[in-house]
Amino acid sequence: MTSFRAFPDLALAVLLGALLAATCGLNAQPPQNADVPSVLPPDVTDAEASPQTGSETTAPPESSKTALDAAPGDSLELTPEQEDQLQQIVKVLYQVPAVRSGGGDTEIVEIPLSLHEALSQIQNGAERLAAVESYWNLRSRIADLNIETRVKESAEKAAEILGQAALDTPDFQALTNVYRVYLSSADARIAQLRVEIRQGQIDLMRKTRRSTERGWPIPSSTPWYGNYSLQSEAAQSRSFELASEAILIPEKIRAGYVSGFSLGAPENLFTPEISTFERIDDGYLYLKTLENKRLAAMGYVRVLESLNSSIARYVGAYSSSLDSRTFVNCLIGSEEE
């Protein structure tokens, strides 16, 4: 089990701090390229976590079940096919929906802002962590808006198909009313998210010391979604915060895998195929399926937001004196997105 012990002397503390800058670039690389130990809970050994390699290639997973079963239960490694699936899912979820704003003096100009740019004027450790939290929170709210928008579009298409049937029966009218209420709820959620996004932009600008002269910031960096490698020595020393995040991170990674693979094929996240409703029950089933997809997608976004916040706290606890470029490289594995 991981032990929480203090440094034996000052020299070891200085040495660990110096090693971080040299190893952060390796720490944030995908698992197949990483030379440092993978993130593992204290009761999992390296031997248990190392996947068996063979000459045969693994076929892409056909479902969420096969995707989860393809990796050993104690392993945080992904096959290339699984990693590609999660990459495509993240790409769909974190698209920035089109912004409808007024023209002339009321037009709102929104510009992409990378995590490195957001932190370029901040060096203080506590302020930097607060800015990162704000950045990922805003990024998640924008993902939520994208999800809600996509779900609403699918519900509108289904409602249009229902309208083409034009059946004048109580059951049909009841189903039509259910869709009408669902779309109204979607409009209300979208309106609220736009308010939260504007609040998040203001909060991010305050914490990153920016103004609206260049426009309102839209986070462009993608949160970490796969395996994340940590320094094994760091999990056994330094601070309680460092050790606790080293325990939480692998658990959140596993939760992310389960949540991500549960979404299914990336191309069908929000577009269940439907051309007609043969029965009234089909209309209800479609809407229930669509709602389940919405909740699952937003749950995955929550997991990734929490995971990336833990990564930021881990790196911050490891060393608060890193320059912003190295700090970002330790978070997302890249200085620029």
Answer whether residue 233 is part of any domain: no
Is there a domain that residue 292 lies in? yes
Domain limits at 295? 64-114+124-223+240-314
User: Does a structural domain hold residue 177?
Assistant: yes
Residue with tokens 């130990």: 37
Taking only the tens place, the pLDDT of each residue in 254-278 is: 999 999 999 988 888 887 667 677 7
Number of domains into which the chain is organized: 1
Residue 98's pLDDT band, with cuts at 50, 70 and 90, is low
Q: What is the pLDDT of residues 285-306, one digit of tens each?
A: 889 989 999 999 999 999 999 9
Strands (DSSP E) contained in the chain are: 110-113, 216-219
Is residue 133 in a domain? yes
331 within a domain of the structure (yes/no): no
Each residue of 112-131: pLDDT tens digit? 999 999 998 887 888 999 99
Is the pTM here over 0.95, yes or no? no
Better-scored residue on pLDDT, 70 or 163: 163
CA distance 103 to 129: 36
- Within a domain: 219: yes
> Would 152 be classed as within a structural domain?
yes
3-state DSSP call for residue 4?
A: coil
Q: What are phi and psi of 305, to 5 degrees?
A: -65, -45
Give yes or no for a contact between 201 and 212, defined as CB atoms under 8 angstroms apart: no
Is 169 a domain residue?
yes
